[in-house]
Amino acid sequence: MPPKVLHAEPLYIDLIRDLGARKGEREWNVGLGLIDRSRFDQYEALVEYEWAPANRLGLEVEVPLTFYPANGVETPSNRVEGLKTAAQWTFKVSEAHQASFAVGYINKIAFTDLDDVRRSPFVSGNVANPFFVAAKRLGRQWHSLVYTGPQIHTGRGRTASWEYDVNSNVHYMVRDSRNFVGVEINKTWAPGDFDMTIRPQMRLQISDQLMVGIVTGVPINRERQRLSMFLRLIYEPRHRTGHP
């Protein structure tokens, strides 16, 4: 069996599959979120399936949705955000240094808002996101991880735009369990703009196959959003390799 180092995986911007994934591993995720947009609330939901068809290779399919409840003010249209597909390859696992490194690619086909779907083509654009991941355990309980890469947005009749993300993470995992507490810091640079959101989080293991993650979002600049909450349910069907 190829070597694998257990790393704490961030809960908001999660990985495609565990670093050093082993063939046969798979996972279902259901996510629910709430964002305070000052004048109105935004609700998010996602359904995600991850699997490893080969050692160290992870694949993912995700469908994210966004809803805006009516509250007497003008809000954006409800929408199926698109279809996200992704791949991640762990090219280096070092048990001696308790570190793992991976590269990957996420592609999201963006869909037209539900209110406009009869007047516009169903596909409104595309987002390409190559990324790099480096993770290292800092002793027995502490975990660190950096996830970084550009996002390139293209759409019908529009000039391509870009932004660059750096997501840094530190977690403390309780000994002899998969429970952890930690913080995820999401930073985004775009031409003339910078955003950062601090996301304290915790993960609780309900059973060998079921975990729940709870995330709070605190933006540094509140021009786009205020506080947010996110809940992730994680279900891992049994597979032959087991956990490391």
Domains, the chain, in order of start with CATH, read: 26-207+226-235 (2.40.160.40)
User: Is residue 81 very low, low, confident or very high in pLDDT (cuts 50, 70, 90)?
Assistant: confident
Place of tokens 């293209």: 154
Sign for the pseudo-dihedral over CA of 190, 199, 183, 60: negative
210 against 80, higher pLDDT? 210
More confident of the two residues 226 and 214: 214
Interval 204-217 mean pLDDT: 96
pLDDT value for 243: 43
Once rounded to an integer, what is the mean pLDDT over residues 144-165? 90
Confidence of residue 93 (pLDDT cuts 50, 70, 90): very high
Give the sign of the dihedral formed by CA 100, CA 127, CA 13, CA 88: negative
φ, ψ for residue 157, nearest 5 deg: 65, 15
Q: Can you give the pTM of this predicted structure?
A: 0.89
Q: Which helix (H) or strand (E) holds 92?
A: strand 82-94
Confidence of residue 136 (pLDDT cuts 50, 70, 90): very high
Res. 74 pLDDT band, cuts 50 70 90 = confident
Contact 99, 135 (CB under 8 A): yes
> Using the 8-state DSSP alphabet, how is residue 115 labeled?
G
pLDDT in the model for residue 226:
83
Residue whose entry in the numeric block shows the structure tokens 């009516």: 70
Query: Which of the given ranges, 125-129, 155-159, 237-241, has the highest pLDDT on average?
Result: 125-129
